[in-house]
Structure 1
Amino acid sequence: MAGLSAGATMATTLAMIYPDIFAAVGVHSGLLHGVVKSFPDALGVMQGGTGPLAGGNKAKGAGWASDVPAIMFHGDRDTTVPPPQRGSRGRPVQHIASSRSDGSARQRSKGRGYTCTTHRDASGKPCLEQWRIHGGMAWSGGSKKGSYTDPQGPDAAREMLRFFCQHRQIVS
């Protein structure tokens, strides 16, 4: 399951509610499940920092806490939706308690630089990848012909597909 903006928020909600159905989730430029509780809350976040993300609110659910592996992309210049990688006021996203981070690796794609942090579960399998696109504010790696796309960024669709292939779920 993957989504962009409000679709990303819906994808995280479905992953939290139905972890037995989804093998992995892809998030691009969206709020995480539980960060806002209503449409007015979401508008407040997007219009300048009112609502549950303002002032460092410690709301439960503001981090990623699902057993469903996640890959997240967000441009650090996104002025519409605050990057979930930082949550509110720089709080890191949290995942499975037993995960460990490989550390941050600063990379450069053909155009934009990015930081990708990978967290692994106890068995060593990646359970969370956080991609922060430096200077980005649209779908990373999209066609220049599209709207809300950034052809200079790393290819989010390709990276999500790679991540999803690592987390196949066999349904009988």
Structure 2
Amino acid sequence: MLKHLNRLWLKGLRQAGKIQRRQTGKLLRSILSKPAKTTSAKKKTDAAKPSPASAPAVRPKAGAASSGTAASKKPRPLPGQWLSAYTVSKDTTRRRISYRLYWPSSAGKAGKAGSRSAQRVPLVLMLHGCAQDAQEFADGTRMNALAEQKGWAVLYPQQSQRINAHRCWRWFDAASQRGDGDAAAVIAALEKILQTYPIDRSRIYAAGISAGAGMAQIVALLRPDLIAAIGLHSGPVFGGCRSVIGAYRVMQHGALGSVRAIQRIALARPDFPPMPALLISGRDDDIVRQINQMQLLNQMRLLNRHSELQPRPPDVRLFGRISKAQPNKNRMDTQDFVAGKKTMLRAITIDRLGHAWSGGDSRLPFNSAGPDASKLMLAFFAGHRRDANAPLNATEDVSAQD
């Protein structure tokens, strides 16, 4: 009898293992799948190069993100400069990282360090998602056009395919959380720009989507002396994993140790300066689920001394057109937390938005119509500057535990 029960138990374990492997395989394939190619000859001729504006790379749900349904014309060239360069990280890996920089026309010609203009320019660090490069991320978010209007510069570090075949930033990697690996490479690109161009050091901001959002948060935690505020679109919560499988678990279910991960930083660094944060997520995002935004909000409340923050009444705005297929308008829910008159935290949830950049160029795959996330981020960033008394050389191990 006991042997029979043991056989049944082992058989059940094997069946459960097979089911788990199938589910993991489906998730992996959905994350690493490439966007479908357009078949229309007109689209092939006229449309911009297909590129995802979200990470990980997945096909958006119908109605969530356009795959190029309308013929598109090439946008007019912007008057600023679109520069390419590379640098080498300062950690033991001595990694080469390439980057693109948009330099606004209002700041004059971007020359070498010796020919700087007197004008100091705000800078946005933009980190792409998986299956993207700097050009595709810039095209999808249209951040350069907005930066040109405001006279801001935008820096796009680019993950190497030699490091990750799908260009994913390894936000879950212990080396990155120590300040090495991908984090060291991104920080090296940022420091290179600061050495070369007249950047306003009190107005440097970090933003990204999905894996890029995860890396943007790590860079801000490592270098709060440089980053004045962050914008995380569809981002995974920090902490709780050190492996690829752990990363998928966090994306789907959040992290059990998310509060402890931030408490560790807050306790180790009582002088950690305020870190304003804008969090944007889609209600239909089934890749990085909404529990991540909830936990990110709790993390940033703790990091910004939650006892000093006061919640504002939620703001609900409706957008979109009404049709037979969609009888109700979409909603954008905004929750603010303020310190005095300053909004320190803002969490935005958008209806019918999957894992895609809201308000991006909907002629490109993996961008969604809706409230313009790029405009929302720049408006939020404009209200924050880094205090001159912020700690210097703040790089410190922020490793999470799996």
TM over 0.5: yes
Displacement after TM superposition at 1:149 (Å) = 1.0
Are 2:294 and 1:77 equivalent residues in the alignment?
Answer: no
Name the aligned partner's letter for residue 86 of structure 1: M
Residues 5-49 of structure 1: per-residue CA shift (max 9 Å, x gap): 100000111112211210110100011322433322112234x54
Summarize the Cα distance change of 1:99–1:35 in structure 2 as closer, same or farther, 3 Å threshold. farther
Residues 68-117 of structure 1: per-residue CA shift (max 9 Å, x gap): 101110001100012232239xx955512211111211111345311001
Aligned pair count reads: 160
Summarize the Cα distance change of 1:25–1:36 in structure 2 as closer, same or farther, 3 Å threshold. same
Q: Which residue of 1 aligns with 2:225?
A: 20
Summarize the Cα distance change of 1:161–1:128 in structure 2 as closer, same or farther, 3 Å threshold. same
Higher helix share: 2
- More deviation, 32-41/68-77: 32-41
Q: Which residue of 1 aligns with 2:319?
A: 109
Contact 1:10 1:33 in 2 (8 A): no
Summarize the Cα distance change of 1:149–1:62 in structure 2 as closer, same or farther, 3 Å threshold. farther
Q: Which runs of 5+ in 2 are unaligned?
A: 1-205, 267-271, 322-329, 389-402
Residues 149-171 of structure 1: per-residue CA shift (max 9 Å, x gap): 111x2111001000111113477
Q: Which residue of 1 aligns with 2:261?
A: 61
TM-score (norm 2): 0.37
Higher strand share: 1
Summarize the Cα distance change of 1:86–1:158 in structure 2 as closer, same or farther, 3 Å threshold. same
Are 2:336 and 1:118 equivalent residues in the alignment?
Answer: yes
Q: Which of 206, 209, 233 is 1:4 aligned to?
A: 209
Q: Which residue of 1 aligns with 2:358?
A: 140
Name the aligned partner's letter for residue 75 of structure 1: G
In 2, distance between residues paired with 1:62 and 1:41?
Answer: 18
SS of structure 2 residue aligned to 1:103: coil
SS of structure 2 residue aligned to 1:166: coil
Contact 1:113 1:134 in 2 (8 A): yes
Displacement after TM superposition at 1:127 (Å) = 0.5
- Counterparts of 1:31-42 in structure 2 under 5 Å? 31-42=236-247
Let me know the Cα RMSD of the aligned residues. 2.6
Q: Which residue of 1 aligns with 2:174?
A: none
- More deviation, 32-41/9-18: 32-41
Larger Rg: 2
Percent identity reads 29
Q: Which runs of 5+ in 1 are unaligned?
A: none
In 2, distance between residues paired with 1:148 and 1:93?
Answer: 28
Q: Which residue of 2 aligns with 1:99?
A: 309
Contact 1:110 1:154 in 2 (8 A): no
In 1, distance between residues paired with 2:295 and 2:374?
Answer: 23
Summarize the Cα distance change of 1:170–1:68 in structure 2 as closer, same or farther, 3 Å threshold. closer
Displacement after TM superposition at 1:58 (Å) = 4.7
Contact 1:12 1:32 in 2 (8 A): no
Contact 1:16 1:33 in 2 (8 A): no
Name the aligned partner's letter for residue 156 of structure 1: A
Name the aligned partner's letter for residue 7 of structure 1: G
In 1, distance between residues paired with 2:240 and 2:317?
Answer: 29
TM-score (norm 1): 0.81
